[in-house]
Amino acid sequence: MMKNLLPSLRESNRYIRFEIISKKKLDFKEVKKNLEKEILTFLGMLELAKSSFKLVNYNNNEGIIKVNRKYLSKIKAALTLIDNIEKEKILIKSKNVSGILKKIKDGGKNGNNAAPDDGL
């Protein structure tokens, strides 16, 4: 039987809520493929693997990305450099960052506003 990791040994993740501003609605597959490709170009394969990048949720040109806490600023920088997906001009805006997925999904509707930036 395998024991769970102690909380102090687990990776600390952050969730980034973002919005894609474009003229058309983009689907999950093309966004995921292009985000990974562009971040891979910016960070390289080793850094992408260490960052634990994962597109958790995406619909209506808004999504949530899970990333290792240590790579938060690098991923946010990579997102700002992305200017097109499938030859469609876009702009990606980070809306907020949180360490709790439920909090970022709510978007601060329950009075618990997610921090606009993690400060790392």
Using the predicted structure, report yes or no on whether residue 1 has a pLDDT greater than 90. no
Banded model confidence at residue 117, pLDDT cuts 50, 70, 90? low
Domains in the chain and their CATH numbers?
11-105 (3.30.70.3250)
Banded model confidence at residue 108, pLDDT cuts 50, 70, 90? low
Banded model confidence at residue 106, pLDDT cuts 50, 70, 90? confident
Q: Is 89 exposed, middle or buried (0-12, 13-18, 19+ CB in 10 A)?
A: exposed
Using the predicted structure, report yes or no on whether residue 111 has a pLDDT greater than 70. no
Q: Which has more pLDDT, 117 or 67?
A: 67
At 20-37, the pLDDT tens digits run 999 999 999 999 999 999
